[in-house]
Structure 1
Amino acid sequence: MMDILEIAVDLSFILVMLGVVFAFVRLVIGPTLSDRVVALDMMTVLLVSFCGLYAILSDDTAFIDVAIVLALVGFLATVALARFVERRKARAVAPEHGEEQGDD
């Protein structure tokens, strides 16, 4: 018979995978670039939680280190993509008279 921790981890795996599927759908059909960035960030968070769940299930602490590194890389990627989206919006709004817009 399974104990409550195994049941909770198995249920969490199912919910995390369901979240990954929904995030992937949003990543593919997202109408704007901002939607795609948020979906990619959500997939990163779900992957971090998957690593944490696997570390609990396997009693292997190496996956905690992987989760921490993945969270840091995901954070930096989200910040970089957010800056890209913001600059892209600023370029679209800027006048088209051949003038460069400064970084003020």
Structure 2
Amino acid sequence: MTIQTVLVVAIAVVFAVAAALAIIRMVIGPSILDRAVASDVLLTEVLCVMGAEAVINSHTDTLPVMLMIAATGILGTLAVARFVARRDRASGEEGR
């Protein structure tokens, strides 16, 4: 077994555990912000795995897909932030 194989297995295990924990946080919640952060973490993990795969195999074929995933993550985060801000503003006006 080469050192590269050991490193690939280690990377796979670390990302699998992190993805499982992020999915658990997305399911359990309890708030929408917890779920949003967990989905951002999961998207970031997908980006890291794709980047690691590109480095290991010495290619740039996945770069356009990585850019689209990053854009989706940014737009999703902005949408959740706007939703939460609008909801907080509405609940603040009711309390007055």
Give 1:73's aligned residue: 72
Give 1:49's aligned residue: 48
CA distance in 2, matches of 1:20, 1:70: 16
Give 1:82's aligned residue: 81
- CA deviations on 1:22-57 (whole Å, 9 max, x unpaired) are 000000001111111111111111111111122123
- CA deviations on 1:58-90 (whole Å, 9 max, x unpaired) are 333111332222112211211111111111121
Q: Which runs of 4+ in 1 moved over 6 A?
A: none
- The total of aligned residue pairs comes to 96
Deviation at 1:96, TM superposition (A): 7.3
Letter in 1 for 2:12: F
Unaligned runs of at least 5 residues, structure 1: 98-104
Deviation at 1:12, TM superposition (A): 1.4
Unaligned runs of at least 5 residues, structure 2: none
CA distance in 1, matches of 2:91, 2:65: 39
Q: Indicate conservation of the 8 Å contact 1:55/1:62, yes or no.
A: yes
Name the structure where helix makes up a greater proportion of residues: 2
Length-normalised TM-score, structure 2: 0.85
Q: Percent identity?
A: 29
Letter in 2 for 1:82: A
Give 1:12's aligned residue: 11
